Structure 1
Amino acid sequence: MLKQTTFYLLIFLILFSACNSKDSGSKQSEQLVVDSLADKSTVVKTFPDLIPGETELREDCFGEIIELQGEQKTTDAIFEVRETQMLVKDSLLIMANLNSENMFMAFSLPGFELVKSFGKMGRGPGEFQYPQLVPAKKDDCLCYVYEKANNHIFALQKDFIISALPFKLTDSQTRHQINDKQLVSFSSHEFVYAESVKGGKAVFDFSFQNDSIQDKMIYNLSFSEKHQSWASYIGDFGANAGKQRVVYAYKYFKQLVFIDLKNNTSRSLKFNSGEAKKGNAVSIMSPENTTHYWGMSAGNDFVYVLYSGRSPVDVTKEWRKKMYYIFVEKYDWNGNPVAKYKLDNWGYFCVDEQRNKLYLASVNDANPFFVYELK
C-alpha cells in the first residue's frame, strides 16, 4: 500500500511540475509580447522586397471593372479647369489652377468652400509661371511648390505664405525651354525627380546638406533604342518615401515601371497593347495616337493612375455625344494590379486615402468638383 501511495505521489509531482513549467513558459511568452508592444520604438515595419523583372499583363488582370458614379459638389469659386493638379493635406484640397491671376486655390473638405486663392501669376519675385505641387511627407508645411521656369522650390506654409527653400534644382540636361522635371519630396532637403535626358528619360536623386548639393541619376527610364525622342517617354511620376518606391507610367505605351530604391531593383509591367508609333515628337504626340496614362495620385498604400485607352480624336467624338468617362487603375507598391474603376466624367484627379475618396475636377462641367467613393 505504501509503494502504491508513493507511486501516485510521484506521478502527481511530475504532472504538477509539468503544469508549472508550461504555465511559466506561457507567462514568459506573454511578457515578451507585452514588452514588444510597450516599446514601439523598437518595432520596425518592413515592406516586402520588390520582385524584379518584366511582367506581361492582360487587360483583364484587374478583374471586373468597377463603375463609379460621382457626386457633384458646388463651390463658391468660379474658374476654368485647365492644366490642373490637386492634392489633399489634412482637411484641405489644394489645387494648382489659374484663377483670377492666382495660380493656387485651397478648398475645405468635405464642403469644397474656397478658403483662399493665392500665388500671383507672373515673372516677378514671388510670382509663378509653371508651378507644380509637390506633396510634403511631414507636417511642417502644406506642400512644396516647384517652379519649372527657374528650378526654384518653395514651401507652402499652413498660413498660405510661400517661402523659398535655400537651394534650387540643377539645370536641365536637355535644351527644353521649360524644364520637364516631375518632382516628389522625400524630405525638406531631399527630392527625387524624373527628367528628360539625351535619348530618353531618367530618375534622379537630389539632396542638399551642409550647403552641399548632390544630384545623381539612379534609374534610366529609357527602354528602347527605337524610341529616342523625349516625347516617347512622356508620362507620370510618383513615389512613396516610407516604402522606398518610385513608379513611372508612360503616356504612349501601356507600360509602368516600379523601382525599389533600397535594393536597386525594378519591375516593369507591360500590357498587350502594341508598340507606340515611332518618329519625332510631333508624330508621337499626334491626336490620332492612343493615350494610355496621363495622371497619377501616389498614396501611402496604393498608387492610382488615370487611364484613357483611346486617342484624343476618339475622346472628342465621344464628348460630342455627351459621353464622358475615364478609367483609374489601382496598384500596390510592389506593382500588383488591385482594381480598375470607370468614372462617369473626365478631368484631373487625386485620391484621399484617409477618407477613401477620389476627387475629380471635370473639364466638362461648370461646377467641376465630383467625389467618388472608392470600393
Structure 2
Amino acid sequence: MGGFGKKGQGPDEFLQPYHFQYYSDSILAVFDLWKGSLIGLKANSVSLGYLQNYNIMRLDSVMCHSFVATKYNTYIAMGGYKDCLFRMLDPKGHRINDFFEYPYKDEYEKSLSNRLRAMAYQGKVLTNPSMDKLVFAVSYSPIISFYQITPRSLKLLASIISAYPEYKPEETSNSMSAAMSRNNKMGYIDVYTTEQYVYALYSGKTIKDATSGAFESNQVLVFDWSGNPVTKYALDIFVTEICISPDDAVLYAISNKPDPELIYFNLKSN
C-alpha cells in the first residue's frame, strides 16, 4: 500500500493486503487476507495522494487465502477447503461450484486431508487481464497449472509438475501442520500475467542451500496460456517480485540492494 493505505480494522483501513489484481481500467482490487475482503481501489485517487476504496465482496469463510475476480461477474477462491482446490462464488459470495483438489504424488499423500495438503501446496493465483484464464504457481515445489475460466466452471489447460514438496504431515483433532524438509526444492516466488504469456519467477533452490535467498531469484520462466515454455530470462540481479508491461516489452521488479528498489529490464532490446 506504500504511503497510502492505513493499517487497522476500520472501513477504510487494511489488516493484511495479500495480493493485488486488475479489476477494471479505473479500479485496482486488493484481497485483504485477514479481513476476508476484496477491496476496490480507485486508481485516480492514488495519483492525488489518497485512497478512495470500496468493498467489492466480503467472504464468510476463513478458509480462503487467495481470491480473484473473473470476467463473468464471478469469483475464484482458493484455500483450505475440505474437498476442493478452487471454489467459484457469485457476487454475493454464495458457492456456485467446487473444482479440482490439491496435488499429490502417491496414494499416501492423497489420503491426507485436503486442508493439510493446502498448507504444503500454497502458492499464487492470478488471472490474465481479460480475467478469463487463471494460473496457479506453487511456492514450495515446482508446479504450475493453467486454467480456462468459463461462466460456471474451470477447465484445466495444462499442469507442469517437476517435483513434489517434501514435508512432514502432522494432523490431530486440534491441529495440523506440514513442516517442510530442508531438502525441499522451492518452486515459484512470484507470477505475473499478460494476455499472451505467464511470467514466473522461479527459485529451484533447496531450503538448506538458500535459507536467506530461497525467496529471491534471477530466473524468469515464460509460458503461453497452453502451458508451453516460450523462453527464459536470466536477470543480472536477484529479485523478489515481478511485473510485466501489457505489451510484454518491459519487466519491472523489486530487488533488495540491500534496501528494496524498483528496477526494470527491456525485454525487447534486441
State the distance in 2 between where 1:197 and 1:314 align.
33
Query: Cα distance, 1:284 vs. partner?
Result: 4.0
Match of 1:176 in 2: none
Match of 1:146 in 2: 31
Counterpart of 2:86 (choices 178, 203, 211) is 203
Query: Cα distance, 1:241 vs. partner?
Result: 6.2
Deviates more, 1:283-292 or 1:231-240: 283-292
Between the two structures, name the one with larger relative contact order (CA 8 Å, sep ≥ 6).
1
Is the 8 Å Cα contact of residues 166 and 183 (structure 2) preserved in structure 1? no
Is the 8 Å Cα contact of residues 20 and 30 (structure 2) preserved in structure 1? yes
CA shift digits 1:226-275 (9 cap, x unpaired)? 3332222211212236372212122233222222233853134335x443
For 1:1-375, list aligned pairs within 5 A: 104-105=1-2, 117-141=3-27, 143-157=28-42, 158-160=44-46, 161-165=51-55, 167-173=57-63, 179-180=64-65, 182-186=66-70, 189-198=73-82, 202-208=85-91, 212-224=92-104, 225-227=107-109, 228=112, 229=116, 230-240=118-128, 242=130, 244-262=132-150, 264-271=154-161, 273-280=162-169, 284-316=179-211, 325-343=217-235, 344-354=237-247, 356-366=249-259, 368-375=261-268
Aligned CA distance change for structure 1 residues 347 and 134 (closer, same or farther; 3 Å): closer
SS at match of 1:280: strand
Query: Cα distance, 1:309 vs. partner?
Result: 0.3
State the distance in 2 between where 1:151 and 1:243 align.
21
Larger-gyration structure (1/2):
1
SS at match of 2:120: helix
RMSD: 2.9
Is the 8 Å Cα contact of residues 346 and 364 (structure 1) preserved in structure 2? no
Q: Which runs of 5+ in 2 are unaligned?
A: 171-176
SS at match of 1:368: strand
Is the 8 Å Cα contact of residues 78 and 86 (structure 2) preserved in structure 1? yes
State the distance in 2 between where 1:318 and 1:153 align.
31
Query: Cα distance, 1:356 vs. partner?
Result: 1.3
SS at match of 1:312: coil
Question: Which one has the bigger helix percentage?
Answer: 1
State the distance in 1 between where 2:181 and 2:10 align.
35
Is the 8 Å Cα contact of residues 255 and 268 (structure 1) preserved in structure 2? no
Is the 8 Å Cα contact of residues 134 and 185 (structure 1) preserved in structure 2? no
State the distance in 2 between where 1:124 and 1:280 align.
37
The code of the aligned residue for 1:280 comes to P
Is the 8 Å Cα contact of residues 256 and 270 (structure 1) preserved in structure 2? yes
State the distance in 1 between where 2:29 and 2:73 align.
11
Aligned CA distance change for structure 1 residues 253 and 335 (closer, same or farther; 3 Å): same
Is the 8 Å Cα contact of residues 74 and 89 (structure 2) preserved in structure 1? yes
Aligned CA distance change for structure 1 residues 352 and 287 (closer, same or farther; 3 Å): farther
TM-score normalised by structure 1 residue count: 0.58
SS at match of 1:226: helix
The code of the aligned residue for 2:160 comes to K
State the distance in 1 between where 2:57 and 2:67 align.
15
SS at match of 1:231: helix
SS at match of 2:14: coil
TM-score normalised by structure 2 residue count: 0.78
Aligned CA distance change for structure 1 residues 296 and 355 (closer, same or farther; 3 Å): closer
SS at match of 2:141: coil
Aligned CA distance change for structure 1 residues 166 and 252 (closer, same or farther; 3 Å): closer
State the distance in 2 between where 1:241 and 1:357 align.
16
SS at match of 1:260: strand
Query: Cα distance, 1:342 vs. partner?
Result: 1.6
Aligned CA distance change for structure 1 residues 355 and 275 (closer, same or farther; 3 Å): closer
The code of the aligned residue for 1:244 comes to D
State the distance in 1 between where 2:119 and 2:37 align.
24
Q: Which runs of 5+ in 1 are unaligned?
A: 1-103, 106-116, 174-178
